[in-house]
Copies of this chain bind each other. A is one copy, B any other.
Amino acid sequence: MSKLTPSQIEKALQNLPDWKLENEKLRKTYEFEDFVAAMGFVIEVAQLAEEVGHHPDIDIRYNKVILALTTRDEGGVTERDVRLAREIEEM
C-alpha cells in the first residue's frame, strides 16, 4: 500500500465531503449537538477503527470531533485512509 499522489488524493476527496488534506493527513471536523452526541460518534468510529485495524487521530473539543487519517508507515495518505474515511461517512 503506497502513498497516493496529490492528484489521486484530490480525486478521492471529491467523494468525501468536508474532508481536507492537511500535513499529509485527511482531516475532517464533525460538529454535534453536545458532548454526549460527540462521544457517541467517537465510540462508533473507535469500534470501526478497531475492526479494520486502522486508527485515526481523534481530537474531542466538547461538541466537536476532529478526525485525522494517515498511514505512518508510508508517511502520508494511502488507499487505506481513503477507505476508512469512506466507511466513517457511511456509518
Contacts and interface: CB of A to CB of B under 8 A. Distances in A.
A71 B55 CA distance: 30
B50 A55 contact: no
Interface residues of A, number: 15
Interface stretch (A8-16, A21-29, A35-43): A35-43
Given A42-B42, A43-B43, A35 B49 contact: yes
Contact of A58 (B43, B50, B55, B59): B59
A39 to B, nearest CB: 5
Contacts of A61: 57
Interface of A: 35-36, 39, 42-43, 46, 49-50, 55, 57-62
